[in-house]
Amino acid sequence: MTGRIYTSEHQVFDLPEPVEWQVIHTGTVPCDSYAMTVLYQPDMRPVLERAAGFAAIWEGETVLRGTVDEYTVELGTEGLTATISGRGYAARLLDNETRPVTYQDATLAEIIRCHVTPYGIACQEVADVRAGNVFTAAAGISQWKVLDGFCRTYGGFSPRFSRTGKLIAAPERASGTYLTIGDEDPVLACTLREDHYGVLTEALVIDKTRNVSYSVKNRDMIAKGGQCRRVIYTPGQSTWAAMRYTGEYQIQRSREDEKIVTLTLPGSFPAFPGDRVSLELRRMGLRGMFRVAEEESVFSQRGGATATLTLKESV
**Segments forming the whole domain that contains residue 238:** 202-254
pLDDT in tens, 81-113: 999 999 999 999 999 999 999 999 999 999 999
Q: What is the CATH number of the domain that holds 122?
A: 3.55.50.10
- Looking only at the bridges linking them, the beta strands covering 12-14 and 304-313 are unpaired
Residues of the chain above pLDDT 90, percent: 67
Average pLDDT over residues 243-258: 73
Identify whether residues 137 and 218 lie together within a single domain. Answer: no
Q: What is the amino acid identity at position 200?
A: L
Residue 231 has pLDDT above 90, yes or no: no
Considering only CA atoms, which of 140, 150, 74, 65 is closest in space to residue 105?
Answer: 150
Boundary of a domain, candidates 33, 67, 88: 88
Helix, strand or coil for residue 147?
helix
Same domain, 19 and 82: yes
Tally of structural domains, the chain: 4
pLDDT tens digits, one per residue of 110-131: 999 999 999 999 999 999 999 8
Decide if 276 contacts 291 (C-beta within 8 A): yes
pLDDT at 18: 96
269 and 186 in a common domain: yes
Assess whether 189 and 276 both reside in one domain: yes
What DSSP line would sit under 39-99, residue for residue?
E--GGGHHHHHTEEEEEEEETTEEEEEEE--EEEEEEETTEEEEEEEEEBTHHHHHT-BPP
In degrees, rounded to 5, the angle at the alpha carbon of residue 103 between the alpha carbons of residues 98 and 105 is 145
Q: Which helix (H) or strand (E) holds 248?
A: helix 240-254
The DSSP symbol for 118 reads G
Say if residue 280 is in the same domain as residue 308: yes
CA distance 73 to 64: 23
Domain finish residue from 65, 88, 111: 88
Rg (CA), the chain: 22
Residues 59, 62, 64, 65: what is their CA dihedral angle, to the nearest 10 degrees?
Answer: 140
Q: What is the CATH number of the domain that holds 38?
A: 2.30.300.10
Question: Of the candidates 61, 88, 115, which is a domain's last residue?
Answer: 88
pLDDT over 70, % of the chain:
95
What CA–CA distance (Å, rounded) separates 246 from 153?
8
3-state secondary structure of 240: helix
Q: Render pLDDT for 142-194 as a digit per residue (tens, 0 to 9).
A: 999 999 999 988 888 899 999 999 999 999 876 666 899 999 999 999 999 98
CA distance 255 to 197: 10
Say yes or no: 185 and 281 in one domain: yes
Enumerate residues 6+ apart whose C-beta is below 8 A from 145: none
Residues 210, 189 share a domain: no
Residue pair 41/16 in contact (Cβ under 8 Å)? The answer is yes
Residues 165 and 132 both lie in one domain: yes
Spatial distance between the Cα atoms of 70 and 91, rounded to a whole number of angstroms: 13
Residues 82 and 41 in one domain: yes
Sign, CA dihedral 117-121-126-131, equals negative
Instruction: Give CA–CA dist 251/262, Å, rounded.
Output: 23
212 and 187 part of one domain: no
pLDDT of residue 212: 80
The larger pLDDT score, comparing residue 131 to residue 310, is at 310
- C-alpha to C-alpha distance for 110 and 276, rounded to whole angstroms: 32
Q: Are residues 187 and 297 in the same domain?
A: yes
Asked if 65 and 99 sit in the same domain, the reply is no
